[in-house]
Amino acid sequence: MSSNKIINCNNVSIISIRLAKFMKNLCFNRTNKLNNSDSPFCGRSVNINILDYGERLGDHMNCGEIAYITACALLERLYFKNPSLFTERTAHKLMFASVLVSLKWSEDMFYLNSFYSNVGGLAVKETNYLEIEFLKALDFKIFISEEEYEKAQKVLSNTSTVITNTNTSTDCFSTEKISSTTTITTSTFTKTATPVSSSSTCCR
């Protein structure tokens, strides 16, 4: 499964924000908001909300819509497998890891993790770690059935299926490389990033 070569950037940005709304629904609207500080996806507070973070990923991960739809399907699968992972303090890193794994599954070519680390505001070592932990959490089962894909596609194409939380909450994520006020341009990354084949192993 690979995305179209011509990527509609507007559609990707919209669908990434909708994925962030989906995550907000799973993580921020729960009555039982566990701290779950032992989770590998737990982060510390920064001044960037989950929707802005989703938009950042959509603008700069350089992948097609299929990656975000696949990420939605994987996140839903993980939620039913282990809902305790989904809290306010894990939302950002879970979403980042899901997109990273999904784009490597769906794209014919992708960049090294040093590229994605800059987009996500993480050290390369932590990006590698999150990728492996996300795969472990899913028991390395990332094949998406046609039914799962279509269901995720409907979720992300219909905003009425996403419940947003209007209450103010502190979003948690570690941005060691870029702050929430940093203006990121795609050219900053593409000048130094070289795509690699999808046949390569993960954590590169």
The answer for 63, left when phi > 0, alpha when psi is -120 to 50, beta otherwise, is: beta
Q: How far is CA 19 from the centre of its chain?
A: 8
Q: The whole model's pTM is what?
A: 0.73
Average pLDDT, the chain: 75
Helices (H), 29-161: 50-60, 65-81, 91-106, 113-120, 124-137, 146-157
The parts of the chain modelled with pLDDT lower than 50 are 1-7, 31-32, 45-46, 159-192, 199-201
Q: Which residues contact 151 (CB under 8 A, 6 or more apart)?
A: 73, 76
Residue among 162, 149, 19 nearest 97 (CA): 19
pLDDT score, position 188 = 35
| DSSP-derived secondary structure letter, 183 | P
Q: Give how far the C-alpha of residue 117 lies from the chain's centroid of Cα atoms, to the nearest Å.
A: 12
What per-residue confidence (pLDDT) applies to 1? 47
